[in-house]
Amino acid sequence: MMLWVDGVMSSARAYTDAENFVQNTPQNIVIGSQTCDVYIYLIKIYKTFLDRDSHLANFIADAPNATEIALRYNRNDILDDMNEIDPEKLADKNPNCRVWKYDIPRMTHAKDDKVSGCGFE
């Protein structure tokens, strides 16, 4: 189960295969809090899995006008041609975000498996 806020995945929870989310007596969705105000502007429920790109496309398309659609698209354009996060684009689009890049020649196999020749930017 994932929580997306402003087109950014903010939280994820894993459930076991035994949990099927079927209620004996289905209930309406209730969202609230005793300690703070909760404002829900939009909620969507799907019967099928949506991948990262589908969530992002929905967020962009749900903008109230064309200007906001363009702003959301440009802000979230951080992937390279291989559909991987491009650190340069990420840093450029999010100036307050720390982007640490490690260049590591291979994956380790154990804690005592030291890797040399690593780079950091």
Cα distances from 7 to residues 23, 63, 76, 77, 115, in angstroms, run 29, 11, 8, 12, 36
Looking at residue 31, its pLDDT comes to 80
Looking at residue 67, its pLDDT comes to 92
SS3 state at 41: coil
Assign 113 a pLDDT band (cuts: 50, 70, 90): confident
Q: What is the pLDDT of residues 78-92, one digit of tens each?
A: 889 998 889 889 889
Burial status of residue 35 (CB atoms within 10 A of its CB: 0-12, 13-18, 19 or more): exposed
Looking at residue 44, its pLDDT comes to 74
Q: What is the mean pLDDT of residues 84-108?
A: 87
This prediction's pTM:
0.48
Which residues neighbour 72 within 8 Å (Cβ) at sequence distance 6 or greater? Answer: 7, 59, 60, 63
- How many residues are there in the chain? 121
Q: Residue 2: beta bridge partners?
A: 12
Domain spans of the chain, in order of start: 1-14+27-64, 78-121
Q: Whole-number mean pLDDT of the chain?
A: 83
Q: What is the pLDDT of residues 17-65, one digit of tens each?
A: 777 767 788 778 778 778 888 777 767 777 778 887 888 888 888 888 9
